[in-house]
Amino acid sequence: MRLTATPLLLALSLALGTSMTAHAAPSSPSIAAAAEGTLLNISANAEATRVPDVATLSAGVVTQAADGNSAMRQNAQQMDKVLAAIKAAGIAERDVQTSGVSLNPQYRYADNEAPKITGYQASNTVSLKVRDIAKLGKVLDALAAQGANQINGPSFEIDQPEPVYDEARLAALKKAQARAQTKDQRRIARELMLAGRIQASLLPASPPELPGWQIAAALKPARETSGDFYDFIAVPDGRWGIVVADVADKGVGAALFMALSRTLLRTYAREYPAHADRVLAAVNERILSEARAGLFVTMFYAILDPASGTLTYANAGHHPPYVLGAQRGAAPHALTRTGMALGVLETERWEQEVAVLGPGDVLLLYTDGVTDATSPQETMFGVQRLLEVAQEPPGRSAHEIQAAILAALDRFAGDAPQLDDVTLVVLGRDT
């Protein structure tokens, strides 16, 4: 993996028998970055490996007959048998694709004679993806037994390469940071600026567009890198995983821990698409087995069903998000903690709760950089002030609420330094 400042290039070699390269954009609109440019170049290489878990192959059926209709009819009958065998082998319909039937006349050639048609050949091809490689032999045997007379492949790949890319990016970022420690303070500051840009590329470029919903998200780091993060993860059945998290530290260490937590969360969110509690338990176990930094992360993870407004969530020691009712004067509903922070106890388990967002309701997610922000008089912004700004006046869009909170926060802090990362996500359901 190679990191350079202008332009920024992030590349990695993925050891799966073939070479793969990933590129990261130099910046992302979702996170604030230092305005000053950098002339510093940092180079680091890293690899991540996984055993292939998907096989792709194609099988052809070729039939011949004296006339075209017979050749095509026989081909269709034979292909039906092949497709039935594929289905019986457990291959999902979404992983099977057929091409159109082609028909070609067969000729006999003789000296001093015009070519004569002796028959017709019909051919068809089916391409399939085997997600359980242990079944590959069974699938191949079934294809051959049912008359597939042209089998190409298999070729192997990984179904979800992004976690492997993230792992390699994280390893390269660690190497780059280790080298930066030997440089002078100015050089280190510039390297941190670059790390912030790389970290920014890990955040969503923009929230997902969900019909009937509005989403606004912002992250403002206190330093070049951040221990906060938010993410939106597409999971099956049209649902979305939504996370806001805060590593209990600042600086590069927190940024690396954030990248690890994000990678693990994305992996297990797809493995347990309907169970927020299991996702947190799996992430916690991996953090404790693979990271020995003594850090922990608070995390609120929810699974949103946009169609019903159902929010299935688990809260790992994070500041409670609030559901703000559409009715004026409705009391905010806090989505309180259902377990402790991640990275503390391996045996910890989290309860899963359910909330429902009705038309006009708003979900407010944030990190303690919002509520703990201090004024020049050293008073805190606080939860009560946050809720007042979010609720009045009612009927605003998610983007309007977010803008009002950030503006109020800036006015409140004045010239006081920003001591912690500020993350704010506002989710609103249309009326």
Domains by residue range for the chain, with CATH: 54-157 (3.30.70.2970), 203-429 (3.60.40.10)
The CA distance from 229 to 118, in Å, is: 69
Q: Which of 192-196, 225-229, 310-314, 385-389 has the lowest mean pLDDT?
A: 192-196
Task: Specify the pLDDT at position 217.
Answer: 95
The CA distance from 288 to 296, in Å, is: 9
Q: What is the dihedral of CA 141, 146, 149, 152, to 10 degrees?
A: -40
| Whether pLDDT at 252 is above 80 | no
Q: Which residue from 279, 223, 271 is spatially nearest to 247, judged by alpha carbons?
A: 223
Q: Which of residues 100 and 331 earns the better pLDDT score? A: 331
| Whether pLDDT at 352 is above 50 | yes
Phi, psi of 95 (to 5 degrees): -100, 10
| Whether pLDDT at 45 is above 80 | yes
| Whether pLDDT at 131 is above 50 | yes
The strand pairing partners of 339, in sequence order, are 316
Confidence of residue 209 (pLDDT cuts 50, 70, 90): very high
* Spatial CB neighbours of 111, under 8 Å, sequence gap ≥ 6: none
Task: Specify the pLDDT at position 112.
Answer: 81
Quick one: average pLDDT of 36-53?
A: 69
Quick one: average pLDDT of 211-236?
A: 89
| Whether pLDDT at 73 is above 50 | yes
Parallel/antiparallel/unpaired status of strands 310-316 and 297-305 = antiparallel
Distance, first Cα to last Cα, the chain: 47
Per-residue CA distances from 366 to 167, 194, 229, 426, 427 (Å): 27, 26, 10, 9, 11
The strand pairing partners of 147, in sequence order, are none
Quick one: average pLDDT of 181-209?
A: 69
Asked if residue 23 lies in contact with residue 17, where contact means CB atoms within 8 angstroms, the answer is: no
Q: What pTM was estimated for this model as a whole?
A: 0.56
Give the rounded percent of residues in the chain with a pLDDT score beyond 70. Answer: 84
The strand pairing partners of 276, in sequence order, are none
Confidence of residue 317 (pLDDT cuts 50, 70, 90): very high
Give the rounded percent of residues in the chain with a pLDDT score beyond 90. Answer: 40
Task: Specify the pLDDT at position 402.
Answer: 96
pLDDT tens digit sequence for 403-423 = 999 999 999 999 888 888 899
Quick one: average pLDDT of 68-86?
A: 86
The CA distance from 233 to 304, in Å, is: 10
Asked if residue 247 lies in contact with residue 295, where contact means CB atoms within 8 angstroms, the answer is: yes
